[in-house]
Structure 1
Amino acid sequence: MVAPTRISVAALVRDGLVLLVHRHPSRRWYPDCWDLAGGHVEAGELPHQAVSRECLEELGVQVHDPVPIPMTISDPSLDMHAFLVTRWAGEPVNAAPEEHDDLRWFRPGELANLKLAHPASLSSILNAVQVATA
């Protein structure tokens, strides 16, 4: 049996909005859909280290104090580690155009109408926004 792929993702939340990236249509996995920024946990790397590295690589921001949050997904081949991020240095930009063709801030009410990479994660993302704005 193959071990699940370890993934770390970040829910960046600011002013009640959550940042999502749009996965490029040419991506092998989950093409042409919205997702949280993040990626593979490298060998010898802890999930919080991976999410910090991925945010720097993909968004050009240095995250501070990522907080682990539960994340529900339906893909058993993934070991998902999600983090709520409310503090970071820099302004998020699409620093990985080969991976994403857009990034955008969304209000919680807009998320249900999006094609998400992991539709089962919707309630987890909404909970993260709620925690961040409480």
Structure 2
Amino acid sequence: MAPRVHDCVGALLVSEGRILLGRRSDDCDWLAGAWDVFGGHVEAGESGEQALHRELQEELGIAPMEMHYLGVLAGDAPEPWRLRLYRVVRWQGAPTNLAEHAELRWCTLAEAQDRLRGAHRDFPGLLATAMASASAPP
């Protein structure tokens, strides 16, 4: 039997040339103390978009109004996982640290790439895509 894959979604919140990241609390079960995007596990019966709406409400108290699928990252450690990433450029509410994070920080592209580079080799490219797409004219 194939191992269970943790199916997750994540949001790259982009505003005024910056990306919002959170540093997870040291007592988190998953990625304790690491810088991360916002999101989490997809629950049974949820689409990726539904899961992302729920997770952003739980973690930041916001409702995404405009989001675009960017791509997927996957890995095997510490257990098999898949992370579908979305660029979120418009939302209702002000991002507030409600759960899981020791701190929130608006980062430049270079800062975000430095903080997430160790999590997956493809993170820097997806961050650059998110930033370029957010600043492109409609």
Length-normalised TM-score, structure 1: 0.89
Structure showing the higher strand proportion among its residues: 2
The alpha carbon displacement at 1:62 in A equals: 0.7
Q: Which residue of 1 aligns with 2:129?
A: 127
- How much is the aligned-residue C-alpha RMSD, in angstroms? 1.7
Taking the aligned partners of 1:92 and 1:20, their CA distance within structure 2 comes to 11
Taking the aligned partners of 1:63 and 1:115, their CA distance within structure 2 comes to 22
Taking the aligned partners of 1:39 and 1:24, their CA distance within structure 2 comes to 15
Q: Which residue of 1 aligns with 2:45?
A: 44
Partner SS state of residue 114, structure 1: helix
Equivalent of 1:84, from 77, 84, 87?
87
Question: Is the Cα–Cα contact under 8 Å of residues 73 and 82 in structure 2 kept in the other structure?
Answer: no
One-letter code aligned to 1:47: G
The alpha carbon displacement at 1:101 in A equals: 0.6
Taking the aligned partners of 2:104 and 2:131, their CA distance within structure 1 comes to 17
In the alignment, structure 2 segments of 5+ residues that lack a partner are: none
Taking the aligned partners of 2:87 and 2:76, their CA distance within structure 1 comes to 21
In the alignment, structure 1 segments of 5+ residues that lack a partner are: none
Runs of 4+ in 1 over 3 A off after TM superposition: 71-76
Taking the aligned partners of 2:67 and 2:114, their CA distance within structure 1 comes to 27
Q: Which residue of 2 aligns with 1:118?
A: 119
One-letter code aligned to 2:27: S
Question: Is the Cα–Cα contact under 8 Å of residues 47 and 81 in structure 1 kept in the other structure?
Answer: yes
Q: Which residue of 1 aligns with 2:57?
A: 56
Partner SS state of residue 129, structure 1: helix
Aligned length: 132
Partner SS state of residue 86, structure 1: strand
Partner SS state of residue 70, structure 1: strand
One-letter code aligned to 2:48: P
The alpha carbon displacement at 1:116 in A equals: 5.5
Question: Is the Cα–Cα contact under 8 Å of residues 35 and 117 in structure 1 kept in the other structure?
Answer: no
Question: Is the Cα–Cα contact under 8 Å of residues 66 and 84 in structure 1 kept in the other structure?
Answer: yes
